[in-house]
Amino acid sequence: MENEALGMLLRRGIDLDSMAQLVHELQVPYNPTLTVEECRESVSHVLMKREVQYAIITGVTLDEMAEEGALKEPFGSIVREDDRLFSIDEILALGIVNVYGSIGLSNFGFLSETKPGCLGRLEERGGVSTFLDDIVAALVAAACARIAHNA
Amino acid sequence: MENEALGMLLRRGIDLDSMAQLVHELQVPYNPTLTVEECRESVSHVLMKREVQYAIITGVTLDEMAEEGALKEPFGSIVREDDRLFSIDEILALGIVNVYGSIGLSNFGFLSETKPGCLGRLEERGGVSTFLDDIVAALVAAACARIAHNA
Amino acid sequence: MENEALGMLLRRGIDLDSMAQLVHELQVPYNPTLTVEECRESVSHVLMKREVQYAIITGVTLDEMAEEGALKEPFGSIVREDDRLFSIDEILALGIVNVYGSIGLSNFGFLSETKPGCLGRLEERGGVSTFLDDIVAALVAAACARIAHNA
Amino acid sequence: MENEALGMLLRRGIDLDSMAQLVHELQVPYNPTLTVEECRESVSHVLMKREVQYAIITGVTLDEMAEEGALKEPFGSIVREDDRLFSIDEILALGIVNVYGSIGLSNFGFLSETKPGCLGRLEERGGVSTFLDDIVAALVAAACARIAHNA
């Protein structure tokens, strides 16, 4: 199932390296000797967790089916429009953020709000990424939390 | 959107009265003069909240599409099988539980575990109710929390 | 810090065995060959997590200081009275429940509501256990979640 | 209890105006005609919620008692040092963020990470504000969420 989840991310334009890059930028101020390779490994560990894999499979499937018009209405339109009050995407992402405890929360919020790196590219790319952008922010935040726990 | 959400619950066999009944059973020990009518009104108030409506529309759509085999794989099978480690249903329901604060949590857990009243009937009915049973437990728990806040 | 946390639980009348007993009762229906020893080991693993230790130290310190009248007012009275709308105890416990994902939620709610075994004895014992009862329910629920993940 | 909570914030250097200012900065991009007065009113509404008042009273009492050396050890030192892995402050703040649903999460994280306005001044002021900075970020984020819901 891990390969399934990783494959779905790749299919939507998100790879391990671009997430590792964001982890590195966020964590290096606290940990100046941290390498991008260590960040990549931390993202990999997050992706091994079963609940993380379920969240990715759920979110990416919904984005893709919404994009293809394959979700029943009104749900399809709701996902496509990503109304500010539709918070199911953020709730789903929280399940990922919390896998290494609540310390991932502030990084998650910061990434969701500022959309640096691959998160910004996701927005430019077009298509539906209602769930994916929160999922990627959550994966990065959880990988940061894991590094903080092990530091 | 409130009617849409309520209509989806009815279509899946859940009406206001059966939820009001559960609210009454849970709250009457703390509040002996509480009527079923007041409980019904409390459930109605919960259903007016936008994030509650979004959670219902999301969950019921996923249950129905999984039942009809209309969700992409492997997501469709995941929803149908409702693996104990698939916690997206519980995470989604938490968004409802929390609309009147965290005091709804213990009632939510109790209902999920013991499945009284309409929750038990849901299980017997067959079909996919991976999301719906958690949603109904959450609606009842939130309505209890609202009564506790106003008492 | 793990010994500190465990010592605080013991000082308030909660030992590993009584928690392992509850884990066993809740999990044996899903896992008939499960031993109490395995449950005890699962509780031990939960207690190794840093955020769990912090939650125990926070909660037990507040219970004890409230009992001794050493907390500033009005906070001391709030902790002693454990108003139904005071949900800080439940929020704190959630941090423990979530260490193995959201699947611990329903067990947590069930234990908070029904108070079996050592949770019931805690209530009879008198003294302030506003935080401790939620913490113990959360530790048991997290240990159950860990077993479910490994099963 | 609302006055108690507001008085505690003032005592620690946080007033309604400085929070309203932050709400305005965050929301005006989505809502160009929004006034600071409306933001102030939104913060006031957040402060009327019982669970918000409990979180403020809990957090500020702990900060003040830690500052005065009045908390039992090791808890006093833990609060004073505000270790990155001590996430009880963030967990407590989440109870505030969620009063208007999960849409407050990204603003909360952004504020916690960037510490603009009164949050930055809080840090410069010295003294213990382990809990207070998360509480203020959460109050601002919840007031933003309320505005988004009503817009």
What mean pLDDT comes out for the span A124-148?
94
CA nearest to D58 within chain C: C75
What mean pLDDT comes out for the span A124-147?
95
pLDDT of residue A101: 77
For C112, the closest of B85, B106, B114 (CB atoms) is B106
Residue C99 has pLDDT above 90, yes or no: no
Task: Please state, in angstroms and rounded to a whole number, the distance separating the CA atoms of residues B39 and A81.
Answer: 34
Are A131 and A59 in contact by the 8 Å Cβ rule? The answer is yes
Give B24-32 contacts, CB < 8 A, sequence gap 24+: B25/B116, B25/B117, B26/B107, B26/B110, B26/B111, B26/B140, B26/B144, B27/B144, B27/B147, B27/B148, B30/B148, B30/B151, B30/C84, B31/B147, B31/B151
Residue C102 has pLDDT above 80, yes or no: no
Q: Average pLDDT, whole number, for chain B?
A: 93
Residue A151 has pLDDT above 90, yes or no: no
Residue C85 has pLDDT above 80, yes or no: yes
DSSP-derived secondary structure for A104-131: GHHHHHHHHHH--HHHHHHHHT-S--TT
Task: Please state, in angstroms and rounded to a whole number, the distance separating the CA atoms of residues B149 and B27.
Answer: 12
Distance of residue B101 Cα from the nearest chain C Cα, in angstroms: 8
Q: Which chains touch C (3 or more CB pairs under 8 A)?
A: A, B, D
Domain, as residue range, for B7:
2-150
User: pLDDT-derived band of residue A84, with 50, 70 and 90 as boundaries?
Assistant: confident
Number of domains in chain D: 1
Positions in chain D whose pLDDT score sits under 50: none
For C109, the closest of B84, B87, B112 (CB atoms) is B112
What mean pLDDT comes out for the span A98-104?
81
Are B98 and B139 in contact by the 8 Å Cβ rule? The answer is no
Percent of chain A whose predicted confidence (pLDDT) is above 90? 77
pLDDT in tens, A48-75: 999 899 999 999 999 999 999 999 999 9
Reported ipTM: the value is 0.93
Between A and C, how many CB-CB pairs are < 8 A?
22
C64 contact partners, CB below 8 Å, separation of at least 6: C12, C128, D72
A31: phi then psi, degrees, rounded to nearest 5: -150, 75
- The CATH number for D6's domain is 1.10.3760.10
Please indicate whether, in this complex, the C-beta atoms of C105 and B108 are within 8 angstroms of each other: yes
Nearest to A132 by CA among A1, A5, A36, A4: A5
User: pLDDT-derived band of residue B78, with 50, 70 and 90 as boundaries?
Assistant: very high
pLDDT of residue D123: 86
How buried is residue A36: exposed, middle or buried, by Cβ count under 10 Å (0-12/13-18/19+)?
middle
Please indicate whether, in this complex, the C-beta atoms of A109 and D111 are within 8 angstroms of each other: yes
pLDDT of residue D106: 86
Task: Please state, in angstroms and rounded to a whole number, the distance separating the CA atoms of residues D143 and D151.
Answer: 12
Helix axes B132-150, B105-114, angle to 10 degrees: 140
Please indicate whether, in this complex, the C-beta atoms of C112 and B114 are within 8 angstroms of each other: no
Say if D84 is an interface residue toward chain C (CB within 8 Å). no
Task: Please state, in angstroms and rounded to a whole number, the distance separating the CA atoms of residues B146 and C105.
Answer: 20
How far is CA D85 from each of CA A43, A51, A102, A104, A143, rounded to the nearest angstrom? 19, 22, 9, 10, 14
Termini Cα distance of chain B:
29
Are C145 and C27 in contact by the 8 Å Cβ rule? The answer is no
What single letter denotes the amino acid at residue B60?
Answer: V
For D101, the closest of B51, B102, B149 (CB atoms) is B51
Distance of residue D9 Cα from the nearest chain C Cα, in angstroms: 15
Residue A11 has pLDDT above 90, yes or no: yes
Task: Please state, in angstroms and rounded to a whole number, the distance separating the CA atoms of residues C69 and C79.
Answer: 10
For C144, the 3-state DSSP assignment is helix
Task: Please state, in angstroms and rounded to a whole number, the distance separating the CA atoms of residues A112 and D115.
Answer: 16
CA nearest to C147 within chain B: B85
Identify the top-confidence range among A142-151, B36-45, B84-93, D80-89. Answer: B36-45
Query: In chain D, which ranges are continuous DSSP H helix?
Result: 2-11, 16-27, 36-47, 50-67, 75-81, 88-97, 105-114, 118-124, 132-150
pLDDT of residue A1: 86
B86: phi then psi, degrees, rounded to nearest 5: -80, 105
Which has the higher per-residue pLDDT, A124 or D5? D5
The neighbour count for residue C20, using CB atoms within 10 Å, is 22
The neighbour count for residue A51, using CB atoms within 10 Å, is 21
Task: Please state, in angstroms and rounded to a whole number, the distance separating the CA atoms of residues B87 and B91.
Answer: 6
pLDDT of residue D115: 93
pLDDT in tens, C39-59: 999 999 999 999 899 999 999
Q: Average pLDDT, whole number, for chain C?
A: 93
pLDDT of residue A18: 97
